């Protein structure tokens, strides 16, 4: 007999593959029902923004590489759900 354990795998962590020092993620997932997990992720990334005094869409006559930018940290929270493919297949099959 298999017992239901909602905290079987509760935490996940990751970094960006392209620039590991610029993106981090920390989250958790809880198995709400068999085969269905609720997921919450805190995502933090260092992204370029236009320097102070510049606005998007304004005229600029220099090269693209000369556009003044500054790196700022942005944070967002994401929520989702994942389903085991075996349960999805059984749900939509007519057997």
Instruction: Give CA–CA dist 41/92, Å, rounded.
Output: 29
Residue 30 contacts residue 38 (beta carbons within 8 Å)? yes
Strand segments, DSSP code E, in 16-62 are: 23-33, 36-50
User: Which residues fall within 8 angstroms of residue 62, CB to CB, at 6 or more apart?
Assistant: none
Strand (E) or helix (H) holding 73 = strand 69-83
Q: What are the pLDDT digits (tens) for 1-29?
A: 344 444 555 566 677 778 788 888 888 88
Specify the pLDDT at position 56.
Answer: 85
pLDDT in tens, 33-42: 777 888 888 8
- Where are the chain's structural domains? 11-52+67-92
Report how far residue 38's alpha carbon sits from residue 24's, in angstroms, rounded to the nearest whole number: 20
Query: What is the percent of the chain with per-residue pLDDT over 70, rounded to a whole number?
Result: 84
């Amino acid at each position: 007999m298999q017992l239901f354990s909602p905290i079987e795998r509760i935490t996940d962590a990751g970094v960006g593959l392209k620039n590991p020092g610029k993106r981090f993620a920390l989250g958790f997932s809880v198995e709400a029902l068999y085969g269905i997990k609720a997921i919450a992720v805190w995502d933090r990334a260092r992204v370029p923004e236009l320097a102070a005094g510049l606005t998007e869409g304004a005229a600029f006559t220099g090269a693209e590489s000369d556009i003044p930018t500054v790196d700022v940290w942005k944070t967002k929270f994401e929520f989702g759900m994942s389903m085991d493919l075996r349960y999805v297949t059984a749900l939509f099959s007519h057997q």
